[in-house]
Amino acid sequence: MKITVVGAGAVGATTADNIVRKQLAEEVVLLDIKEGFAEGKAQDIAQTAALLGFDSKITGVTNDYSQTAGSTVAVITSGIPRKPGMTREELIGTNANIVRTVAENLLKYSPEVVLVVVSNPMDTMTYLALKATGLPKNRIIGMGGTLDSSRFKYQLSLRLGASPADLNAIVIGGHGDTTMIPLIKHATWNSLPVTQFLSDEEQQQVVADTMVGGATLTKLIGTSAWYAPGASSAAVVESIVRDQKKLFTASVYLEGEYGQHDINLGVPVILGKSGWERILDLPLDEDEKSAFAKSADAVRSMNNVLKEIGTL
């Protein structure tokens, strides 16, 4: 089995590092357009094999998509990172052309590949990849909700003094500071509703802190985060290649689910060897339904930019 990661920046390299540590494939290909960059990152990762005990081979290549041939899964992290004060929406013009080109090149050599999109604005880039390639909808997956849900569990763990592993909590909607919806009323601590242990004010603060989780890190470190995005991407890949049937929030194409059509948004899905296999229908209350509809409107407005700039 071969897995490709496109983009050897911080997120891409961390994704590849997590994949080889988990030994998810015999070979991992790390590709970048910058001469020697992916090769250097790949060698650095490979030199940890004796220390960490993995046998997966990792190869770095410069813009040679023939080396990705036969990939089962490809993770697209390409694009410029978000800088302080920059919203995900502001990235759309530059990253749209990059993601389209990457997706088309991957398909030339791996026609059966499952694409995992990480590039921002993630929901719109996932929609673009679907429309540009014509792939079956189950083989295009946006990672963002998996990351947002992990950050939600982190915030809950701080408030509860609990292990994040004991928490079940998901975020739906768009992968953006104003479009994500942390479902606090559905979150549980080993099957017990977290609302039993947190005041209304604490619940509101957890939701607010989750929504600005990415922007908070960007402000602190001066660029987009990479450890949690890399681990989230690898977790999605693992569920696919090992056919784990795990439940993640992922940005997938909706055709009536949750009342939305012709859009990619974060909803709970089961991930297995064919990509995303089914969408779970959560019972949302009226406030949550309204928030989801507003999130869809915001993402759809970004999708419309693709048409305005001639990318779709």
Residues recognised as catalytic:
175
150 contacts 236 by C-beta, under 8 angstroms = no
What angle, 0 to 180 degrees and rounded to 10, lies between the N-to-C axes of helices 122-133 and 92-109?
40
b/e 197-215 (16+ beta carbons within 10 angstroms → b) = ebeeebbeebbebbbebbb
Q: Is the torsion defined by CA of 194, 200, 201, 206 positive or negative?
A: positive
- In three-state form (DSSP H/G/I as H, E/B as E, the rest C), the secondary structure along 66-99 is HHHCCCCEEEECCCCCCCCCCCHHHHHHHHHHHH
Helical packing angle, 213-221 and 144-160, nearest 10°: 90
Q: For residue 257, give the DSSP letter.
A: G
**Cβ within 8 Å of residue 302, ≥6 positions away:** 89, 92, 121, 123, 124
Yes or no: say if 168 and 162 are a contact pair by the CB < 8 Å rule.
no
